[in-house]
Structure 1
């Protein structure tokens, strides 16, 4: 028996679920398709930040000393598989070129309209989905171990004045008032107040998916790679019958090219792998908001399952076996900053961030196939930008005037 709808959204992470909700709100019937339950992949394991303050994209380092440090492959913030370097080198070169000051400024300008709407687009969904109890208004802390680090972070924050971001520079005493369990050896922190954080990004994504179902949407398990043109639209086999829709949206994150490539679309999509591990706080220690250690490249964030430590970047094949190295390195540093107790899980969780070398996602029509749309490549900001990019895609698909210019995210820019 066929399952007919106006739109099939492929991918039930935060981007796909948000896209489905915005299409629903504009009167379209939607089927959400994934091989797993909603929120089970990258949307499950991130740091839970809705990052309004990340107005400058994560760029390839341009400082020679930083590059040399990373090249030694001994740090916790960036790690790479030597055997993978020849395959990923062309992508890294493009990433490095796009991280030059002028190009980075252009990328920041292009991403700003989405970043500015990150919190405001999440808020109504959190409310309607009954998930506000999972959200915190407390911002996050940029931890600085040494006075010179704090001075540099304060200067960096001041340079972002044009973006009207609310922040405080905290010395050691003020930081201890805010978070008394942090190590007294920390020199201070920049407290970014605009972002929200959540105590379970996976639970938030599932709550949004449940809202989609309550509104009359349908979720179907299927392999999105089987998507093919069918009649005047698109078809996809599933165990419940063929999914048929006039429009199909590929929102599969790091797996988007698995679906797009058989249709003739080539994107320079790479993945930055990352890990998380939960810890019980030692003794009576507590943490009221996420803290980011730039030196260690990790985040400690209070979650429903404990204190979640999320790691930085691992460059390795998407589907290669996980490695414990980065978690172990980050944990050693984290224990000097916050009193972590024992690990909650036996093994770390691993996820993959879908990254394009110009640091912008693809959002919009495919071009060569009527009714085919893309919404992927959000890098470190998938959870942050899911609702904002979902709205933009829905506006374009339904013919509504977009709230922001979609040109920077067009599919044919590569």
Structure 2
């Protein structure tokens, strides 16, 4: 039986481990923490099957000036750390041009099409239906003009990709969310996404499924990965382990490991924050406040607010200014209650400049494979890219063309 070490216990790594296991590999999953405790823990818990277009960087001068002057809440930057981001941001801006974004969208949408079908299989096998609701989520709009533009964009997505939505005017929104303020223009209800009450819990359930099926889960240091005469080795709490192949699924930490093997993969690292609130009113479905750049989602621990992107250095202390603005904005919509945690959680989303994940073989190292850089959608896409990775590693036909995701495009 072929053997592989999968490095990384987030949604992407656990999903890759499961798909490889199902296709005949002996798999050891290695992480420094329990599965689902890093980036996969701190999201809005939405499997976004409607997200057929990756997030482009704004290119109009007005929006860029508002970001530069700190007048938006969806993007914030620390001036002292900005030099670390300049090169990947310039590449991101270049790839966000209309024609290049259309090309990225074509490759992105092919992966998104597999998001809910692949999650569905794992959810059922992991007995995790209690964590999942299949009723969509809502995009709230405060400005009528912006609402009309969003409706047109949704209609375009429906025409091009068949995604389903419903427009709710202010009266219909108030009926759907009766505890919400009742004087808002309306919302777009994306009907097909699934929402999860405990994102980290879903990853943990997938990891338990992996173990039940015979997979091995170990604590270890991914940075000790080394090539051997017969494959790859990494140090764990149980000592060194060896395998024919290794998969790097370390999210934002992946490029740091790959540097020692001579690969330079640019990432836009976007930090996000979240906090839970209890004791106030509740929400029926997750709600994204588009004007203020944050999401509110009903979770097992209460209502979770998740923020947009902060561009800072990896080791910078927490500066949850966006969370503070989001909390204040949310309190104008509903009775939020009180904070559950003493300090906010924060983590980093790994976004490639061309908005596509890195998926496939490392061209100069036999048996080394890559699966990271899913941007804001690792939680959504983990099972889809895990399937494609397993198909590639088994050398047979692939469900979609993997060429757009190869690391040598950089």
TM class by smaller structure: over 0.9
- Is residue 156 from structure 1 mapped to residue 153 from structure 2 by the alignment? yes
**CA offsets, 1:279-320, max 9 Å, x none?**
1152xx221111111111101000000000000000001221
> For residues 75 and 34 of structure 2, what CA distance do their matches in structure 1 show?
30
Q: What SS does the corresponding residue of 2:28 show, helix, strand or coil?
A: strand
Q: What SS does the corresponding residue of 2:310 show, helix, strand or coil?
A: strand
Residue 43 of structure 1: which of 18, 40, 44 is its match?
40
**CA offsets, 1:123-142, max 9 Å, x none?**
01001101011001110101
Identify the residue that residue 305 of structure 2 maps to in structure 1: 309
Identify the residue that residue 265 of structure 2 maps to in structure 1: 267
Q: What SS does the corresponding residue of 2:343 show, helix, strand or coil?
A: coil
Identify the residue that residue 335 of structure 1 maps to in structure 2: 331
The Cα RMSD (Å) is 1.1
Identify the residue that residue 397 of structure 1 maps to in structure 2: 393
Q: Is the 8 A contact 1:281 1:307 kept in 2?
A: no
CA shift, 1:324, in A, is 2.1
- Is residue 87 from structure 1 mapped to residue 84 from structure 2 by the alignment? yes
Q: What SS does the corresponding residue of 2:244 show, helix, strand or coil?
A: strand
Q: What SS does the corresponding residue of 1:225 show, helix, strand or coil?
A: strand
Residue 20 of structure 2: which of 1, 23, 42 is its match?
23
Q: Is the 8 A contact 1:200 1:304 kept in 2?
A: yes
Structure 1 spans left out of the alignment, 5+ residues: none
**CA offsets, 1:64-93, max 9 Å, x none?**
111111111243211100011122111111
Identify the residue that residue 348 of structure 2 maps to in structure 1: 352
- Is residue 320 from structure 1 mapped to residue 331 from structure 2 by the alignment? no
Identify the residue that residue 402 of structure 2 maps to in structure 1: 406
Q: What SS does the corresponding residue of 2:236 show, helix, strand or coil?
A: coil
Q: What SS does the corresponding residue of 2:40 show, helix, strand or coil?
A: coil
Q: Is the 8 A contact 1:80 1:315 kept in 2?
A: yes
> For residues 156 and 315 of structure 2, what CA distance do their matches in structure 1 show?
39
Identify the residue that residue 276 of structure 2 maps to in structure 1: 278
Q: Is the 8 A contact 2:89 2:268 kept in 1?
A: no
> For residues 2 and 274 of structure 2, what CA distance do their matches in structure 1 show?
37
Structure 2 spans left out of the alignment, 5+ residues: none
- TM-score normalized by the length of structure 2: 0.98
> For residues 84 and 36 of structure 2, what CA distance do their matches in structure 1 show?
30
CA shift, 1:181, in A, is 1.3
- Is residue 249 from structure 1 mapped to residue 247 from structure 2 by the alignment? yes
Identify the residue that residue 125 of structure 1 maps to in structure 2: 122
* Correspondence list, 1:189-200, <5 A: 189-200=187-198
> For residues 101 and 246 of structure 1, what CA distance do their matches in structure 2 show?
42
State the aligned residue count.
409
Identify the residue that residue 299 of structure 1 maps to in structure 2: 295
**CA offsets, 1:244-284, max 9 Å, x none?**
000000000001012111111110123100000001152xx
Q: What SS does the corresponding residue of 2:38 show, helix, strand or coil?
A: coil
Q: Is the 8 A contact 1:143 1:291 kept in 2?
A: yes
Q: Is the 8 A contact 1:5 1:244 kept in 2?
A: no
**CA offsets, 1:192-248, max 9 Å, x none?**
001111001100000000000000000111110110011220011222021100000
**CA offsets, 1:356-394, max 9 Å, x none?**
100001000001000000000001000000000001001
CA shift, 1:345, in A, is 0.8
Residue 388 of structure 1: which of 384, 391, 395 is its match?
384
Q: What SS does the corresponding residue of 1:43 show, helix, strand or coil?
A: helix
Write out the 4+ residue segments of structure 1 that deviate beyond 3 Å after TM superposition.
none
Identify the residue that residue 214 of structure 2 maps to in structure 1: 216
